[in-house]
Amino acid sequence: MSEFVRGLRLWFAPERIREEGDTPDYRFSLANERTFLAWIRTALALIGGGFAVDQFLPGLAWGIRAGLALGLLAAGVLCALRAVNHWVRCERAMRRGEDLPSSRFPALLSLVVALVALAMVVVVLFGWEGR
């Protein structure tokens, strides 16, 4: 079974992580859980921002409004999925005594949010009247 599929199965059966390695100090597992919850809060904020753009900017041209909203919503979905994936990967690494996994996702998420913010700056500077 591939490592990806095995990791994906652990999303829905986290008790199986206990079959690997040694139990880490509970403080590390709880810190990993707090990090997961921070990612989930970020995902919820991005999703809320996407809905806010769509619902509260009716004067914005539809294509621009939809693009900004969909960018934020997609970032929220990816962030939520990445949260559980990162939690599993870190928990496994701690149990195995390995280095924690590195990730490019924070940089990707930052770029998406920065692009949406830049687009919003352009909208604010040049107006948002739909044509």
Per-residue pLDDT of the chain (131 residues; tens, 9 = 90+): 677 777 788 888 888 888 888 999 999 999 999 999 999 999 999 999 999 999 988 888 889 899 999 999 999 999 999 999 999 999 999 999 999 999 999 999 899 889 989 988 988 888 766 55
Question: Could you tell me which of 106, 107, 42 has the C-alpha nearest to residue 72?
Answer: 42
What pLDDT, on the 0 to 100 scale, is given for residue 73? 95
What pLDDT, on the 0 to 100 scale, is given for residue 19? 87
What pLDDT, on the 0 to 100 scale, is given for residue 1? 62
Question: Could you tell me which of 84, 82, 102 has the C-alpha nearest to residue 93?
Answer: 102
Is the separation of the CB atoms in 72 and 53 below 8 Å? yes
What whole-number distance in Å separates Cα of residue 57 and Cα of residue 54?
A: 6
